[in-house]
Amino acid sequence: MSDLPGDLERLATRLSALERRVDALEHTSEALSPTPSLTPTAQPAAQAGESSSQGEAGSLFPVLGKALLGIAGAYVLRAVAESSSLPKLGIAAVALVYAFLWLVGATRVRTGEWLASTIYACTSALILAPMLWELTLRFKVLPAVGAAGVLCGFAIGASALAWKRDLASVFWVANGASALMALALTLATHEMAPFVAALLLMALVCELAAWRYHALSVRPLVAAAADLAIWALIFIYAAAPATRADYPILATPALLAFGFILFLIYAVSVALKTTLRQQRITAFETIQCMIALLLAASGLLFFEPSGGAAVLGVLCLLLSGTTYAAAFTLFDRAADPHNYRVFATWSVALFLAGSLLSLPPLGRAVGLSVAAIMATVLGVRLKRLTLEFHGLVYLLAAAVVCGLPEYVLRSLAGTLPGAPGWGVSLVSACAVLCYAGERPEPAEGWEQQLLRLVSGSLALAGAAALLVEGLAWLTALGVNLGAHHLAFIRTSILCAAALALAYSGAHWRRMELTRIGYATLVLAAVKLLFEDLRNGHLEFIAASIFLFALTLIAVPWLARMGQKAKVPAPRL
């Protein structure tokens, strides 16, 4: 240990000699370079390419040499840190300053030398990363908070130094390396809170840089590191306490704050960019906002199991109202409809999530049914097909919530479910109202046709199920209701529905009704084969077949008659 100062002095002397030799080689190559000729005005393409490659190689090798000298200096500091003669805290401070000096050097290169700037920034990151890892995990010199602070300082310092000259490579390398290092230390140290906070600060810095049109490409990397760190925090702290005995205890507000801060960063960034600058929301921003919201929602549901769902539902409803207002007041008339579509899609998804989370079971069907009617009416009045589709989505969600599909299936093809609940009746009536409120256009696209087809099918299914239940109840008042009675009732209602749909579809020029009528005819044929022929008596089987045959004949005739009834008679 007594020879350590002498060894350090000799090593420093050798490094100085190597630097002088590299500088001498650079000046020698510049002195020996041939002077340009004054007579020729152009060179052959092959000679130009050769000289260009030689110039790039000549400028690359000295830069690489200096970078290797920097890494050699880092190994010297590493060797000193292993010895016990000097205080490790002082060596750690020198090592960190040494890495920061290389970062400063990366921002002080001449304009246009982006390769040298990138190499020096990579050298700084390669010096800092392993050194910080060992100082934190092996030598235990830096606590987790200190290591997170160093990473934040490295990323923010690089951003500040590279800001004025817009050195994207320095910004990219520093923030990317800091984010990856923070993610690794999050899992290695088991002290997750400081490094998650550091990642959130890096994400904020990247969004501020994107606001000023700087270094946009590194945002997905930093965002992915923050997402993974918060997901790991939720996964670990949501488990049983016995499985995370070596992790520090974190309060519930702290566990909830990380996800909500992440969502707030990207939500505010998207809101400012799309509203103030009227920029197109990118695919990264769309996906990242959704991921951040899911992480915040997961934290609330895991760490507040009692009232978290209701709070999350209210927040989703508030966000739905905000995005609806933005979609239809700010982006509705924009030349590019991309932002309008994204915000409208977010609106319907948030409203569905908020309704399912915040409303009681009995109120979900009512709320969604009312929303379906309002969206359909507003869509028709304002001529917004998007709102009409939202009304259909709410109507389908209300049908699923109240159990309408199961009720229809049992009424038309299984054991009778009994008297319908108020939810089934309400949703069926709302489906009829929504379909009646839709106005067919002379030249409709496939979107409008699909909308009316689904809406009409839902209204018809609910009405047919209620009719089957009503006729079965009336029949049971006079006779002992058997399977053959029920089969004939179902066949009669399906045939009557097919006839009415065929005529009304042609008469009112609603082709979706005609299509639904033919689909109902196919359903009646399948039901006749698998129910009437199996369970019916001979007289009821004959009656069902006779009624179905008449329907087959009458449906095309009624469709043609409806078209003739719609055409006005010529004036004489």
The residue out of 477, 505, 540 marking a domain boundary is 477
The residue from 431, 454, 477 where one domain ends is: 477
Report the pLDDT value the prediction gives residue 369, as an integer from 0 to 100: 94
Answer yes or no: do 507 and 548 share one domain.
Answer: yes
**Confidence label for 52 from pLDDT (cuts 50, 70 and 90):** very low
pLDDT band at 570; cut points 50, 70, 90: very low
Q: Judge if 487 and 467 occupy the same domain.
A: no
The yes-or-no verdict on residue 226 having pLDDT over 80 is yes
Q: Number of structural domains, the chain?
A: 2
pLDDT band at 563 (very low <50, low <70, confident <90, very high): low
The Cα-based distances of 485 to 93, 418, 481, 520, 532 in angstroms read 91, 16, 6, 20, 10
330 burial via Cβ count (<10 Å: 0-12, 13-18, 19+): middle
Q: Please state the rounded mean pLDDT for residues 318-330.
A: 94
**pLDDT tens string 149-183:** 999 999 999 988 888 787 888 899 999 999 999 99
Stretch 409-423: mean pLDDT, rounded?
A: 85
Q: What's the pLDDT at 37?
A: 43
pLDDT confidence of residue 36: 43
Q: Which two tokens stand for residue 343?
A: 């915000």
Residues 407 and 466 in one domain: yes
Q: What is the Cα–Cα distance from 313 to 325, expressed in whole angstroms?
A: 18
**According to the model, what pLDDT value does residue 72 have?**
83
Residue 438 sits in the same domain as residue 534: no
Residue 7: band (very low, low, confident or very high) from pLDDT cuts 50, 70, 90: low
Q: Give the residue, 504 or 285, on which the prediction is more confident.
A: 285
Mean pLDDT value across residues 71-75: 81
pLDDT for the residue numbered 23: 62
Residue 407 confidence class, pLDDT cut points 50, 70, 90: very high
Residues 436 and 517 in one domain: no
Residues 440 and 513 in one domain: no
pLDDT of residue 40: 44
| Tokens matching residue 485 | 């009675």
Res 82: pLDDT:
73
Read off the pTM.
Answer: 0.81
- Taking only the tens place, the pLDDT of each residue in 477-489 is 888 888 888 889 9
Tell me: do 497 and 472 sit in the same domain. Answer: no
24-37 confidence digits (pLDDT tens)? 655 554 444 444 44
For residue 253, being part of any structural domain is answered with: no
Last residue of a domain, one of 409, 444, 477: 477
Instruction: Name the residue range of residue 538's domain.
Output: 482-567
Same domain, 456 and 389: yes
Task: Give one DSSP letter per residue of 304-331, joined into a string.
Answer: -TTTHHHHHHHHHHHHHHHHHHHHHHTS
44: pLDDT strictly greater than 60: no
Tell whether 352 is covered by a domain: no
What is the pLDDT at residue 511?
Answer: 83
Do the domain assignments include residue 107?
no
